[in-house]
Amino acid sequence: MATTHVKRAFKYRFHPTDAQAAELSRTFGCVRKVYNMALQARTEAWTLRQERVNYNATSAMLTAWKRTEELAYLSEVSSVPLQQALRHLQGAFANFWSRRAKYPTFKSRKKSRRSAEYTSSAFRFRDGRLTLAKMDEPLAVVWSRPLPEGAVPSTVTVSQDAAGRWFVSMLCEDRPAMPAPVNKAVGIDAGIASLVTLSTGEKITNPKHERKDRERLAKAQRELSRKAKGDGANRVKARIKVGRAYARIADRRRDFLHKLTTRLVRENQTIVIEDLTVRNMLRNRTLARAVSDASWSELRSLLEYKAEWYGRDLVVVDRWFPSSKLCSACGILRGEMPLNVREWTCGCGATHDRDVNAAKNILAAGLAVAACGDGVRPQRSTPGGRSSVKQEVVPPPRSRAAAQPRG
């Protein structure tokens, strides 16, 4: 059943004044400084004294830091983004302790995301005008779409990307419009030539956004490599040019994936996908660039939250399920099947397109999972049809957290 209300982030571009840009840049720097200092303090406390430092302790440290002459500039920006940085660090440690993530790392001035989060006490939103703490004028937001009627942001996150563009993301409570109920199910096989192949036989071509813009990106990177290292004006301009090339690729890819996943969720009640190990595939130097450009992880992420929003069922089939080698007509499992084999004929006489056959098998396995609530393990014996496919609970893999001090 669909969730009545959900938290949704609405992201918009805005164009700050020079004073606003300077204030936000100072805030970004202070957020990064506080995060790194708190991380250093927590790491040293554990390494030297086997002591865990929590959020309350780092908050007290922040108060003490502001009173020193060296760090007095931390008091010049809003305190809320600094406190939020400490909360994010606490969340990062909680994920590490639960083995859901690696040990937190320091934020880099050049490589880390430039952002600051404001809670309701640090901004004012009235009549469609957003004013942040320490600012006299509202932000010039480009309202590309309206916020939900009567929605009031609970948090506001301001960020600047590598292309120099400014964004504001407002987290609001919303009730998504429910699509018409349907009684359809679809299996999805992810690929490179065809981004996805559906069990209906439809193939959706991979737009390959990075490949199309590869020449533009390579030229911008060559120009950047020729600039003297440092913070010179010419190098900054060249770095922004590279950032714009990456942003163009990411924007077009994200737009395509949003449209595709929205269509799949609206047209089907049950969607079945494979649990692909993208991280392992990226280790293959031959396929890494193509796999990265396909962005299967983002595709799955979009399907997951949209299915939850709209009351659809998303079923994930175990990665070892032999979807390509299993005949969707008779259920016999074929032996080895290299990637260059795109079509094959089963002993029962059925001729299969490799990807369409895989999508059909994924759908059948997913419907079985939905019926019994289990995961799907690979077939252990060659003959026997679908009844020989074992269904058992598949435990989630443990995260390989690095052996770091638990601060």
Catalytic: which of 23, 161, 274, 293?
A: 274
Instruction: Report d(CA 38, CA 19) in Å as an integer.
Output: 29
The residues near 404 (Cβ < 8 Å, ≥ 6 apart) are 96, 102, 103
Q: Which residue has tokens 């994936």?
A: 257
Sheet holding 194-198, edge to edge: 203-205, 194-198, 185-190, 270-274, 313-317
Q: Is 255 part of the annotated catalytic residue set?
A: no
First to last CA, the chain: 40
Residue type, 370: A
Catalytic: which of 161, 189, 210, 293?
A: 189
Q: What are the DSSP calls for 191-226, one per residue?
A: -SSEEEEETTS-EEE---HHHHTHHHHHHHHHHHHH
Residue type, 325: K
Instruction: Report d(CA 119, CA 136) in Å as an integer.
Output: 18
- 204-213, long-range: CB < 8 A, 24+ apart: 204/260, 206/293, 206/294, 207/252, 207/253, 207/256, 208/290, 208/293, 209/249, 209/252, 209/253, 209/256, 209/293, 210/249, 210/253, 210/289, 210/292, 210/293, 211/290, 211/293, 213/245, 213/248, 213/249
The residues near 336 (Cβ < 8 Å, ≥ 6 apart) are none
- 190-197, long-range: CB < 8 A, 24+ apart: 190/273, 190/274, 190/276, 190/294, 190/296, 190/299, 191/294, 191/355, 192/287, 192/290, 192/291, 192/294, 194/355, 195/260, 195/294, 195/299, 196/260, 196/299, 197/355, 197/356, 197/358, 197/359
Instruction: Report d(CA 152, CA 170) in Å as an integer.
Output: 9
Q: Is 189 part of the annotated catalytic residue set?
A: yes
Token output for 181: 């109920």
Query: Residues with catalytic annotation?
Result: 189, 274, 355
